[in-house]
Amino acid sequence: MNCEILCIGTELLHGDIINSNAAYISKSLAKIGVDVHYHSVVGDNPKRMKDAFDLAFSRADVVICTGGLGPTKDDITKEILSEYFNLPMEFDEKSLAHLKMTYGRFRKEMPENNLRQTYFPKGSIILTNNNGTANACIVDTLINQNSFEGNDIKSCKGNLDSKGKIGILLPGPPREMMPLVDEQVIPYLSKYSHEVVVGYKVAVMNVGESMAETMIMDLIDNQTNPTIAPYAGDGKMVFRVTAKAESKEKADELIKPVIDELLRRFGANAFVLETEKIEDMTFKKLVESNLTIATAESCTGGLIASKLVSYSGISKVFKEGFITYSNEAKIRTLGVKKETIDEFTEVSEEVVKEMAEGACKVTGADIGVATTGIAGPSGGTDDKPVGLVYTCVYYKGTYNVLKNVYTGNRDGVRERAAINSIELVRKSIM
C-alpha cells in the first residue's frame, strides 16, 4: 500500500502557513508500513483540485487530504472527492448533532452556512472531530463496492484494481488533524498493512557532512533492508536507520547490527537519539547522574540555559544561568580577572576558562559551561574572525576547551555554538 498526501489551501502556496501536516502524517504512516511516495499542495481552485485528485489517485492506493472542510463556499474538498468517485453528497444526521453540540458548548448560535459540514460523499465513514466543527471522512472503495446499487464505484476515474482506492479527508488545522490521524486514521489503515516500519536515529557530532558520508559509503552502497538515510543540520549529522518487517522485534533485529557498526566507526562522536532534540541525551545523563550544572554565556546569550530548561526534570540539577555579555558582568559576576581580559581580550581561551570555573564557584555546581565569541555580522578581525567561539566545560578541576569558527548568520552561529557546548558537556562527563 502506498499513499499520497494532498494538502489544500492557497495560504500554503503563498507561504503564509508552513505545511507541517504532511510531515506529521508521513511519520504516522511510516509506523504501520505505509509508504508515502508524494506530497502535493494545491490552492483553493476547483479545476486544479480536480487535476490534483486525478493525478494522486492515478499513482497511489490511498490519498490523504487536509484542508477545505470548512463552512465557506471555497471549502469544496468533499465535493471534489465525491465527483471523483462519482458519488452523490449525502446528509449526515450525526454531524449535525456534532455541530449543534459544539456551538452549544460555547453558547453561540450556529451560522446557516455550517450546514455544509453535514454533507459527505455517500457511504463515507465519518470521523468525529472532537477539536473543531468539521468532521472528517474516509471513502473506502473496498467496502463501497458492496454498498451501492449500480456501478457508481466501478465508474470511478481511478481505474480500480483489486485493492481499490481509499480517500481520506481531514481538516487543515494541525490541532484538529493530528488527533484524528492518531486515534482514527492510523488504526483504520492498519488493517491493510501487514508490516511495520521501525526507525532509529544516530547522531554524529564534530564530523563534517562529506567526511561522515565517506566513512560509511560502503554501508550506503550495499543497503537493502535496513536503509540508511543521512541528513545534516545545526552542526551535526544524523543517520536514520530504517527497517521494514512483520513485527517491531524482527525490525529491531535487522537494525541493531547497523547501528552497532555506526557507533563503532564514529566512536565517542556518535550516539543513538532517543528524542528529536540532540541535546536531550546530555540532559538525561546529567539528571540520572545527579550532576549539577551552571551556565555562563556571552555570545550565546542564554541559549544553553534555554535548552536546559526545556528538558523536563532538569530543575533537579540546573543550578543557575548567567548571561555575562559585558566585560564588567564577567568580572563582577563570575570573578574573571580584568588583567586576563586586558591581555587576551574577552574572546579567548583564557577568559572562557575563568568564566566556566567562576560559574562553578559562584553556584557550587559540579559542572560549569561557558561561551564567549563573535556572533557577527560585525566585530571580527583577521586574528579573530566573525563566527569564532570558545566554549569551556569545567568539571572536576579540569578545563575542556573547544575552539570553533562557525559559518552562517548571527542566529546560526549562536545556535551551533550552543549545541556544541552541550555536546562538550556530554563528552566531559562520559
Q: CA-to-CA distance for 355 and 348, rounded, in angstroms? A: 11
* Nine-digit cell string for 159: 481505474
Q: Kindly tell me if the per-residue pLDDT of 423 is higher than 60.
A: yes
pLDDT band at 150 (very low <50, low <70, confident <90, very high): very low
CA angle in degrees (0–180, nearest 5) for 169-30-272: 140
Residue ranges of the domains in the chain? 2-190, 196-273, 278-429
Residue 183 DSSP class? I
Mean pLDDT of 407-421: 94
Is residue 161 predicted with pLDDT exceeding 50? no
Buried b (16+ CB within 10 A) or exposed e, 272-302: ebeeeebbbbbbbebbeeebbbbbbbbbbeb
Q: Is the pLDDT of residue 160 over 70?
A: no
Report the pLDDT value the prediction gives residue 278, as an integer from 0 to 100: 87
Report the candidate in 258, 291, 263, 248 with the shortest Cα–Cα distance to residue 395. 291
Q: Report the pLDDT averaged over residues 415-420.
A: 94
Per-residue model confidence (pLDDT) at position 33: 86
CA distance 311 to 429: 18
Q: Is the pLDDT of residue 158 over 80?
A: no
Q: How far is Cα 112 from Cα 136, in angstroms, rounded to an integer?
A: 19
- Give tens-digit pLDDT for 285-325: 999 999 999 999 999 999 999 999 999 999 999 999 999 99
Closest CA to 288 of 268, 306, 270, 314: 314
- Estimate to the nearest angstrom the gap between the alpha carbon of 265 and the chain centroid: 27
pLDDT in the model for residue 162: 40
**Nearest alpha carbon to residue 70 among 59, 61, 78, 62:** 78
172-205: pLDDT as tens digits: 999 999 999 999 999 999 888 888 889 999 999 8
User: Greater confidence, 254 or 147?
Assistant: 254
Q: Range with the lowest mean pLDDT among 37-41, 69-73, 183-187, 205-209?
A: 205-209
Classify domain 278-429 at the CATH topology level. Answer: Maf protein (3.90.950)
Q: Are 7 and 21 in contact (CB under 8 A)?
A: yes
Whether residue 328 has pLDDT greater than 90? yes
> According to CATH, what is the number of the domain 2-190?
3.40.980.10
b/e 78-98 (16+ beta carbons within 10 angstroms → b): bbbbbbbbbbebeebeebbeb
d(C-alpha 387, C-alpha 405), whole Å: 5
Q: Give the pLDDT mean for 92-98.
A: 95
As to burial, measured by CB atoms within 10 angstroms (0-12 exposed, 13-18 middle, 19+ buried), residue 195 is: middle
pLDDT score of 80 more than 80: yes
Averaged confidence pLDDT in the chain: 91
Is 196-273 a domain of CATH 3.30.70.600? yes
Q: How confident is the model at residue 163 (pLDDT cuts 50, 70, 90)?
A: low
At which residue does the C-alpha cell 540520572 appear?
288
